[in-house]
Amino acid sequence: MHYTQLGRSGLKVSRLALGTMNFGDATEEAAAYEIMDMAMEAGINFFDTADVYGGPQRPDMAKGYGLSEEIIGRWLAQGARRDKIVLATKLYQPMDYGPNDRYLSAYHIRRACEASLRRLKTDHIDIYQMHHIDRLTPWEEIWQAMEVLIWQGKISYIGSSNFAAWQLATAQGAAAARHMLGLVSEQSLYNLNARMVELEVLPACRYHGLGVLPWSPLGGGLLGGVLAKSVGKRRAAQADRIAKYRPQIEAYEALCREMDEQPANIALAWLLHNPAVTAPILGVRTKAQLLETLRAPDIALPAEILAKLDTIWPGPGGEAPEAYAW
């Protein structure tokens, strides 16, 4: 496994991150333990979760929330594993029905962190991430609450997810005014079929020294060899998306066959070739899916292959403003 620093921080993480959104939902606890064991044995030291993972993610349904963190916590309690991984979790989404059981108020930040620590059975979170921007809570309040958690030793670094470029810049400006490190990472939707972040988010991350952690790196399965897989519930649910992108998927999978590589690995290798990207987040459901993707960091994509991928999956045309103006 290869390692790199997370943004401008001194923290070193594996080039692949284990995403645990499926734990407690699509992946049962015993299988989740096996996946985490395999990941650690393969050298993946970066585990990503969220307080809301593990059950129905709807504002009117709290049942099942926290299961992913609980599963990770019970796995950590089985042995001396905690200090071998970089543990990241998130807050923002509704965890109960009360008006303060969500978002980024100081009230909720404190309570959400303490609840995550209990579920994870640990005394600290390595990277505490804001799952979405809170347009109503001022940055002075957010950063003050995060500072308290840092002083208490409950969190070490702070990250964001699903932020726009201007929101990243605003957050970093407010942090600098408090003489804080601020954000060290941003999780964004980014894959061959979803490249809008190339316009402004990636340049903002590069400027501010934030590591980029792409979520859904396989485009919800579209980039994972979907046409070659047997028809099942998940593929049936994707029927409309497959039909929409079928010509591109066919060209993509044909190119992967020419390269004698698995489509999932090419999709991940394409992300990893971008210097802005720290580690794609693997949302695996099984050990087989994890094993299939471990080769990705070792794949080098020549310029001609990158050009072909750009033809099949065109991006927004580069960075703003040159992508749309002179």
The residues annotated with a catalytic role in the active site are 53
Neighbours of 135 (CB within 10 A): 8
Residue 23 CA: distances (Å) to CA of 130, 211, 255 = 20, 25, 33
Question: Which one-letter amino acid corresponds to residue 58?
Answer: R
Q: Which runs of E-coded beta strand occur in 131-280?
A: 155-161, 183-189, 211-215
The tally of CA atoms less than 13 A away on the side-chain side of residue 284 is 24
Indicate the pairing of strand 211-215 with strand 12-14.
Answer: unpaired
What token pair was written down for 219? 């485009």
66: left (phi over 0), alpha (psi -120 to 50) or beta: left
The tally of CA atoms less than 13 A away on the side-chain side of residue 44 is 26
Ordered DSSP codes for 71-138: HHHHHHTTTT-GGGSEEEEEE-S-SSSSTTSSTT-HHHHHHHHHHHHHHHT-S-EEEEEESS--SSS-
Cis peptide before 321 (omega within 30 of 0): yes
Match 């109960």 to its residue by tokens.
Answer: 96
The strand pairing partners of 189, in sequence order, are 215
